[in-house]
Amino acid sequence: MREIKKYTVFFDFDNTITTYDVIDDMLLWFSMDNRWINLEKQWKKGKISSRECLKGQVEGIRITQKSLEEYLSKIKIDSYFKKLIGLLDSQKIKIAVLSDNFYEVLSYVFRHHRIKGLKIYSNRVELTKDKLTLSFPYANKHCLLCAHCKKESLMANIKGNSTSVYIGDGLSDVCPSQHVDIVFAKADLLRYFRANRLKCVPFKTLKDVYRYFKRIL
C-alpha cells in the first residue's frame, strides 16, 4: 500500500493571498507625507531593517477606526485562495500564514471573506484615536533584520516527515523560503531565486498553485 505524502503549506499574505500589497496601499491612502517612500528605499538597499522601516512607515499613518474598517472591508483576495485551502483542508494538510502585516488586519480580512481556522503568525497593531502603535511578538531577539522572523515561525511548524511548501512574493519571504522543500515564487521573490539560480516554481496567481496540488494529491 502506497504511503500518502504529508505536506505543510505556508502562505505569505500581501500580494500572495491578497491581490496587492495591503501595507503599501495603506501607506498611499493614509500617510501624512511621503517619508514612507524613502524608508522603503533604504530598506531595499539594506541600510535599515524591515522592522525599522515598518515602524517608521506606520508612525506616519493617520486613520480612524471607521476609516480602517471601511478600508479593510474592501480588500480583495485571490479568487482561488478559498478553493485552494479547501482542497488542502480536505487532505488534512497543515496550513499557516506568515506575514509582516498585522494580525488585526489579517483576522478582519479573513472574517470578512468567511475564512475560519487559519493559523496566523504576524506583527500586531493597536489603534489609539488616529495613530497606530506596533508590537512584534515574533521578532528574533538575535537577529534584528526582520520585524517578524518568518523563519522561526516556519521552523516551529515543520514536522520531520512532511514536505514543506512556501508560497510568497517578496523580499521578506527570501529567508523562510530557503528552509522548505518546495517554493512557489512570484515578483521580488521569483527575481531573487532566478538571480541566485535557486530552484522554485513560478506562479502568477493561486490558481497555478491550486492546479499543482490538484494534480499531485
Residue 125 CB-density burial (10 A; 0-12 exposed, 13-18 middle, 19+ buried)? middle
The Cα 132–Cα 20 span in angstroms is 21
* pLDDT confidence bin for 212, thresholds 50/70/90: very high
Mind listing the pLDDT tens digit for each residue in 15-66? 999 999 999 999 999 999 999 999 999 988 889 988 999 999 999 999 999 9
The whole-angstrom separation of Cα 139 and Cα 44 is 19
The percent of residues above 70 in pLDDT, for the chain, comes to 98
Task: State pTM to two decimals.
Answer: 0.94
The pairing of strands 7-11 and 163-168 is parallel
What CATH class does 7-216 carry?
alpha beta
Order of strands across the sheet with 182-185? 131-135, 119-128, 94-102, 7-11, 163-168, 182-185, 201-202
With cut-offs at 50, 70 and 90, classify the pLDDT of residue 215: very high
Note the pLDDT tens digit of each residue in 105-117. Answer: 999 999 999 999 9
